[in-house]
Amino acid sequence: MSLLSIKNLHVTVDGNDILKGINLDINSGEIHAIMGPNGSGKSTLSYVLAGKEGYEVTEGEIIFNGKNILELSPEDRAREGIFLAFQYPVEIPGVNNIQFLRTALNSIRQYKGLEPIEASDFLKLVKEKQKDLDLPANLINRSLNDGFSGGEKKKNEIFQLSVLNPLLAVLDETDSGLDIDALKIVAQGVNRYHNKDNAVLVITHYQRLLEYIVPDYVHILYKGKIIKSGDKTLALELEKSGYEAFKVEI
């Protein structure tokens, strides 16, 4: 049974058809990449998975870990194990980064019937992940994303991913805004997180990221539809010829 199964998904936003029949199956242990031109619906797909308001599913279904999640609130989807690394992480002044993360972790634990994490264990976990990602301590103790540089925000998303340890990580253009070194560190972070029991869905414009986070499958999203799927060589092909070449194939 696949971890995530999307069937014939149609989504409208403000009455506009954005996703027009997406089919996608992701198994535990796999890494999938979605590439597609600006405005093709990549972020829309990630928002629909996370349950953002205003994205209306008019047809199709999303089964995650055996459950139909379309009726679940965003928080319950996160608790079920869906994590979205935002393309544009939101700045929230006045909400402390670490306290927020602890609240999030404990909410997820509570949902699973677990006790809140011990303060010392949490601290240890945070320290470890912070080191892995080369994040300065003062940064993670600040207000959530408040005044963070573009790259720092992206790193902070992966920091949250590694602390919350979900079943499915959807990374929406996590590579954009990262310098070369940061890109490697972030990719290492994702690879460290990834194992046979979880899955990663990488949304990106650039083949470069896929050299570090190596996908099992690459899908091309075009005007709200997946027009082609293949292995990692598809990304290379795309880089060479651009989307125009594939359009003709439709």
Partner 1 sequence: MEITALKDNTFLNNWLAQIPTKVHYVPDNVLVQALQYIEEKGIPTIKNEQYKNVPIESILKRNFRNLILKSETAEDIQNFRYPNTIIISNNKTSYQLKEEGIQIYEENTIKDIYKKYIGSTSLHTKDFFAALNTAYCSHLSIIHIQKTLQYPIYIHHQLSSHSNFQQSRILVIVDKSVECTIFSEISGNVHQPTFLNILGEVFMDENALINWISKQKDTSQLLYTITNYAFSLAGSAKLKHHQISLNGAMWRNNLNIHINDKAANAELKGLSIGKNQNIISQNTAILHHSGYAHSNQLYKNIADDKSTVLFNGFILVNKNAQKTNAYQSSKNLLLNDNATIFAKPQLEIYADDVKCSHGSSTGALNEDAMFYLRARGIDKTTAQKLLLHAFFNDILESIENTHIREYIQNQIHI
Ligand X SMILES: Nc1ncnc2c1ncn2[C@@H]1O[C@H](COP(=O)(O)OP(=O)(O)OP(=O)(O)O)[C@@H](O)[C@H]1O
Q: What does the binding site for ligand X look like in residue numbers (CB under 6 A)? A: 13-14, 16, 18, 36, 38-44, 87
Q: Is the dihedral of CA 168, 173, 177, 182 positive or negative?
A: positive
Q: How far apart are CA 70 and CA 62, in angstroms?
A: 7
Partner from partner 1, ligand X, Mg ion, none contacting 212, C-beta within 5 to 8 A by type:
none
The span from the CA of 19 to the CA of 40, in Å, is 8
| CB within 8 Å of 241: residues ≥ 6 apart | none
Which candidate, 199, 225, 240, places its Cα nearest to that of 8?
Answer: 225
Q: Where are the beta strands (DSSP E) in 42-187?
A: 55-64, 67-68, 82-85, 92-96, 143-144, 168-172
Closest residue to Mg ion in the complex (CB): 43
Indicate which of partner 1, ligand X, Mg ion, none lies near residue 164 (CB less than 5 to 8 Å, by partner kind): partner 1
In the complex, what is the shortest distance from the CB of residue 198 to ligand X, in angstroms, rounded to a whole number? 23
Among 40, 43, 145, 207, binds Mg ion (CB under 5 A): 43
By CB under 8 A, name the binding residues for partner 1.
Answer: 50-53, 73-75, 77-79, 83-84, 86, 89-90, 92-95, 100-101, 103-105, 107-108, 111, 143, 160, 164
Q: What are phi and psi of 152, to 5 degrees?
A: -65, -40
Minimum CB distance to ligand X smaller for 162 or for 175: 175
Q: Identify what 36 binds: partner 1, ligand X, Mg ion, none; CB under 5 to 8 Å per kind.
A: ligand X
Binds 16, which of Mg ion, ligand X, partner 1, none (CB < 5 to 8 A, cut-off by type)? ligand X
Site string for Mg ion, 23-42 (x = CB under 5 A): -------------------x
State which residue, 58 or 73, has the beta carbon closest to partner 1: 73
CB 50, CB 13: distance < 8 Å: no
CB of 41 to Mg ion, least distance (A): 8
Instruction: Write the burial class of residue 45 (CB in 10 Å: 0-12 exposed, 13-18 middle, 19+ buried).
Output: buried
